A and B are shown apart, each in its own frame.
Chain A
Amino acid sequence: MSRAKRIMKEMQAVKDDPEAHITLEFVNESDIHHLKGSFEGPPGTPYENGKFVVDIEVPMEYPFKPPKMNFDTKVYHPNVSSVTGAICLDILKNAWSPVITLKSALISLQALLQSPEPSDPQDAEVAQHYMKDRESFNKTAALWTKLYASPDGSTGSADEADLYGISPDVVQEFESQGFEKDRVVEVLRRLGVKSLDPSDNDTANRVLEELLK
Chain B
Amino acid sequence: MGPTKIKQKRSTSTTNEYLDSITTPSKPDNSCLISPNGKAKDSTSLDNVGDAQVSDESEFEIEDLLSSSDEFVYDEDGIDDDAQVMLSHPIEEKEQKHQKEGNMPDLDYTVMTMQDIFENMLRRVDHLQPIFNIPREDILLLMQHYDWNEERLLENWTEKMDELLVEIGVTQDTGSTPHVSVATNETTPQGKTTESSKRGVKFRENFTCLICCEEKNTETFSLECGHEFCIDCYRHYIEDKLHSGNIITCMNCSLALKNYDIDNVMGHESSKKLMASSIKSFIQSHNKNYKWCPYADCGCIIHLRDTSTLAEYTRLHYSPFVKCNNDHRFCFSCGFEVHAPADCNVTNAWIKKARKESENLNWVVSHTKECPKCGANIEKDGGCNHMKCFGCKYEFCWICDGEWAPHGKDYYQCVMYNNEDNPKKSRDANLAKYMKKYTFYYRIFNEHELSAKLDWKLGQTIESKVRELQEQMDISWIEGQFLPDSIRILNESRTALKWSFPVSYYSDQSHNLTKIFVDNQSLLSKAVEDLSELLQIKDPIEIMRRKADFYNMSGFVENRKFALMECGRELLCRGICKPMD
Contacts and interface: CB of A to CB of B under 8 A. Distances in A.
Interface of A: 2, 5-6, 9, 13, 61, 63-65, 91, 95, 97-101, 104
Nearest to A65: B240
Given A64-B240, A98-B233, 10 more contacts: A2-B212, A6-B211, A63-B211, A65-B240, A91-B180, A95-B179, A97-B180, A98-B251, A99-B180, A101-B182
A160 B227 CA distance: 51
A9 B213 contact: yes
A25 B440 CA distance: 67
Contacts of B183: 99
A61 B241 CA distance: 13
Interface string B196-220: 0000000000000011111000000
Contacts of B227: 99
Contact of A104 (B180, B229, B251): B180
Contacts of B182: 99-101, 104
The binding surface of chain B is classed by DSSP as loop
Contacts of B481: none
Question: Interface size bucket, B side?
Answer: 20 to 34
B252 interface: yes
A99 B214 contact: no
Contacts of A64: 236-237, 240
Given A64-B237, A64-B240, A100 B180 contact: yes
A211 to B, nearest CB: 40
Nearest to B234: A98
A181 to B, nearest CB: 47
A13 B212 contact: no
Contact of B212 (A6, A65, A95): A6
A97 B182 CA distance: 11
Nearest to A6: B213
Counting chain A CB atoms within 10 Å of each CB, which of B186, B212, B213, B227 scores highest? B213
A100 B178 CA distance: 12
Given A64-B240, A104-B182, A99 B213 contact: no
Nearest to A17: B185
25 contacts: A2-B212, A2-B213, A5-B213, A5-B214, A6-B211, A6-B213, A9-B213, A13-B186, A64-B236, A65-B240, A91-B180, A95-B179, A97-B179, A97-B180, A97-B251, A98-B211, A98-B251, A99-B180, A99-B182, A99-B227, A99-B252, A100-B182, A104-B180, A104-B181, A104-B182
A2 B180 contact: no
Contacts of B229: 98
Nearest to A9: B213
Contacts of A98: 211, 229, 233, 237, 251
A65 B241 CA distance: 11
Contacts of B211: 2, 6, 63, 98-99
Contacts of B237: 64, 98
Nearest to B212: A2
Contact of B210 (A65, A95, A99): A99
A97 B252 CA distance: 7
A151 B213 CA distance: 33
Interface string B375-387: 0000000000000
A98 B237 CA distance: 8
Nearest to B183: A99
Interface string B219-256: 00000000101000100110010000000000110000
B231 to A, nearest CB: 13
B251 A99 contact: yes
B246 to A, nearest CB: 9
B217 to A, nearest CB: 16
A42 to B, nearest CB: 16
Contacts of A63: 211-212
Given A64-B237, A97-B252, A99-B251, A5 B212 contact: yes
B277 to A, nearest CB: 15
A77 B431 CA distance: 56
A98 B213 CA distance: 12
Q: Which of A63, A97, A100 has the most CB of B within 10 A?
A: A97
Contacts of A95: 179
Nearest to B230: A2
Nearest to B182: A104
A1 B167 CA distance: 36
The 5 A-B residue pairs whose C-beta atoms are closest, nearest first, are: A2-B212, A6-B213, A9-B213, A99-B252, A104-B182
B191 to A, nearest CB: 15
Contacts of A91: 180
Contacts of A99: 180, 182-183, 210-211, 227, 251-252
Contacts of A100: 180, 182
